Chains A and B, each alone.
Chain A
């Protein structure tokens, strides 16, 4: 099992150029659990994730890993503990799947060395978890969107970090692949104890797969905790501006949001 880490942000303010997006967010990421950041478009959920993953320099506030500021840690050392899968990673043209997954080993390698036995083991394991071993020597340009996404996650897994951030890992995927990816990430969390923090678009899948929810609205953290406590019709109204009822997901027992639109609404629910 992965060791526990204390990852906390304190009074975090961040944004782009002169525009402040994240406003005084303080949070502690539950170790060895799956956390999902939810929020409307442009609420700052992705910016928050990027700031926590040190891709954006905060204007003020602190981000500490086990009591040490992440900006003061050597980048390679931090990269052995904390990994991130960006929303739209860039593929070098013509690279093979195994070589791409192997690039996740960078923080573990020295300057000129080739792959060690450990590197091969980590790459093979990551590819096995994501079920892409057969594709190892194929060119990534030949893969489907769902397969590619698994390759990217495998690259992040090969990094073997204790904490893994994922920025919308299921966007642009069919529902089948979305569920598949979330199942694989849950396996990873249950088997290895990897702490997972991700931004997801789908609130119902978030409620089902998360141990912990962070709800962001206008750059502020408005609610956090277990999905069953956090996801209520009033929170959905506040965060997404949507009228809804929350029912129990018959499959998982987690809360499930049923929107109330303007059409196709039975009289009982007309606002």
Chain B
């Protein structure tokens, strides 16, 4: 009886774990395939052998430049930004128990983006200044939303609505900065409003890559705490989670990652919004959704960028494609929440 019940519980849990492993592996394989496609496809399709030799450092006329200077940084920017957006979105959504409460919808990425635009277009700054400014702006936006939504008692509905308002204001600010900036042009505007991998350069990537290597392990280690936080403040406290400290570490890590991602690629529309729910649909509930959400983020960005580059006569930046996918889902969620009386 005793052993039977343990076996029964174990069997169910193993089955759910197997699904998690299978889906996660599939997402890794898919991401690798998309990475390959990012390197192979372009104006000219070079032979695979040449592409690999160019990546390994051999100088091949025509291939080396296309692969190492154009396609590789574009792919890396997509991979790391997608991972950062996916993970951070899932953490916010899980922590606040609401899919709308993600950095993209509540304007955190827009805050970072506005700071990046200000530094680049107005101050003509680059590199570390832009990175630092966007992290500070991301954290400032979170703080502002938190203070404004605190009120008498905390409500997630209010936090989301205030966030959407702040996002709209910051978007207006970005448009204004791009208009007054001397160097304003359409591609730059698209990058800072909806995100783009166009013109990604190798020397811009280290802050983003570094932040993912530092903060992704931190949040993955906190995944178990996050799953307890999801049960609500009271249960989490009585299960021994230091709720304030855990939340603070999760928010800081997520915001650092997405702010640097934003300062590199712009706020790629809706990736942090879509990745978590898609991952949860795929892997199910019960095991951590953090890594699958990051991988879905990578796949979304790479697939959307490939579609934007090659599916149409005109090339579209990645954010336009993810925006087309994300906007209907946003409307669907708003309607559903309104019906349930959550807004």
A residues within 8 A CB of B323? Answer: none
Nearest-neighbor residue (CB-CB) of B287 within chain A: A99
Distance of A116 from chain B, by nearest CB (Å):
12
Q: Is the CB of A120 within 8 A of B241?
A: no
Q: Measured between alpha carbons, how far is A92 from B228 in the docked complex, in Å?
A: 10
Distance of B3 from chain A, by nearest CB (Å):
9
Contact pick for B13, options A99, A103, A159, CB 8 Å: A99
Within 8 A of B (CB), among A76-113: 76-80, 82-84, 86, 89-90, 92-96, 98-99, 102-104, 106-107, 109, 111-112
Within 8 A of B (CB), among A219-236: none
The winner among A55, A77, A99 for most chain B CB atoms within 10 A is: A99
A residues within 8 A CB of B186? Answer: none
B residues within 8 A CB of A69? Answer: none
Within 8 A of A (CB), among B1-24: 1-2, 5-6, 8-13, 15-16
Among the 9-residue stretches A122-130, A206-214, A263-271, the one with 4 or more Cβ atoms under 8 Å from chain B is A122-130
Q: A94-B285, A111-B221 known; A55 and B5 CB under 8 Å?
A: no
Q: Is the CB of B240 within 8 A of A92?
A: no
Q: Measured between alpha carbons, how far is A63 from B234 in the docked complex, in Å?
A: 18
A residues within 8 A CB of B58? Answer: none
Q: Is A45 an interface residue (CB 8 A)?
A: no
Q: Is the CB of A107 within 8 A of B285?
A: no
A-B contact count, CB below 8 Å? Answer: 109
Q: Is the CB of B238 within 8 A of A89?
A: no
Nearest-neighbor residue (CB-CB) of A107 within chain B: B240
Contact pick for B235, options A76, A90, A98, CB 8 Å: A90
Distance of B43 from chain A, by nearest CB (Å):
45
Q: Is B69 an interface residue (CB 8 A)?
A: no
Q: Is B326 an interface residue (CB 8 A)?
A: no
Chain B residues within 8 Å of A, Cβ to Cβ: 1-2, 5-6, 8-13, 15-16, 97, 221, 224, 227-228, 230-235, 237-242, 280, 284-286
Give the 5 A-B CB pairs with smallest separation, nearest first.
A79-B240, A137-B12, A90-B232, A84-B238, A99-B286
